Structure 1
């Protein structure tokens, strides 16, 4: 991923925080004729260093059949993004786009049954933590748990990470105006404004 130096993030704490907060990613590999990609949760495994991701795909998904153990894959993570109007600048300039994104390369390996179950336990517990009536893997019936046979679990041992936070760095006196305009738009634009306040103004 092309990243100008002023947008590159190298702080391990910030990188981990970003990957944990935006863990619905894209698994990319070379297919037999064209690249192949699947959208799926890609969670950091706690306590692993170097970083390691885990995920799973449906057995019906042909992508896993084209990835060998030990093969390098690419995982892409997208944070909030938004159009930035140059009308918010003091001086004439072209419009642009602010965004947060990560490209993670690593070595793919299929999980065994115990590793897959541990990954699913962590995944469900993480996203059920704020549910009014949380469910857990432990509470599912044997009939329901048989659905696990329909998925392939895997890990990705991270070998390289490229993270870009393009958040109007260098706009100086324009920052507060840009943040205010993005905040008023709501949605992803407001999320970009919050990121700008956190990473540029705090």
Structure 2
């Protein structure tokens, strides 16, 4: 991802927030037969990150044989985290020369992952299930009936868990920061409007948060 100083996102806490809110990532590897990509959910590593608000270590798993396809644990891979994003019309910038653009928040984490033991992988799988089931009125947790321990163990055996502490992190937040505050406000209103086919409350909220943070820092 090409970096632009005006849009750089270097604060580890913000990148952590991005990962927490957008856990569905793209994993990319360069192999002897070409590029390969897979899509999986990840979590910040609770063991490593406990009390460390700057740590960016993530944990996750791939289903077999994706571990072999990626050469998991043997070569560098890229994890792409994609946050809110959407089309921005030049008409929202007022009566000034302008072109369409796309606002977005994204981070790239690069490194060689460490493979997890079966027990570590089980803990990560349990955390993943708990994370996404916890919002339901009747959560179905991993070890609860009708699942039994034998079934859960078979589930783990079909996956390979990993921990990635990135050696390179590139974060980018492109949210119209190069426009006047009043223009950013107009774009936010358009993204919040149900009348627009490009309405996106999540992107609008991200822009609002960024704008208020920049105002407070002045």
Same fold (TM over 0.5): yes
Any unmatched runs of 5+ in structure 1? none
1:182 pairs with 2:191: yes
46-55 or 94-103: bigger deviation: 46-55
Aligned length: 201
Matched residue SS, 1:134: coil
Matched residue SS, 1:3: coil
The CA deviation string for residues 119-160 of structure 1, in whole angstroms up to 9 with x for no partner, is: 011111111111111122222313421222111111112212
Q: 1:133 to 1:68 in 2, by over 3 A?
A: closer
Distance 1:161 1:86 in 2: 31
Partner of 1:4: 4
104-113 or 52-61: bigger deviation: 52-61
Partner of 1:40: 40
Partner of 2:83: 79
Deviation at 1:80, TM superposition (A): 1.3
Distance 1:144 1:188 in 2: 43
Deviation at 1:78, TM superposition (A): 0.8
Matched residue SS, 1:30: strand
| Corresponding residue to 2:139 among 120, 134, 142 | 134
Give the TM-score taking structure 2 as reference length. Answer: 0.85
Deviation at 1:186, TM superposition (A): 7.2
Q: 1:188 to 1:2 in 2, by over 3 A?
A: farther
Give the TM-score taking structure 1 as reference length. Answer: 0.91
Deviation at 1:55, TM superposition (A): 1.3
Q: How does 1:93-104 map to 2 (within 5 A)?
A: 93-104=98-109
| Corresponding residue to 1:191 among 199, 202, 209 | 202
Deviation at 1:201, TM superposition (A): 2.4
* Equivalent residues of 1:81, 1:188 under 8 A apart: no
Root-mean-square deviation (Å): 1.9
Partner of 1:109: 114
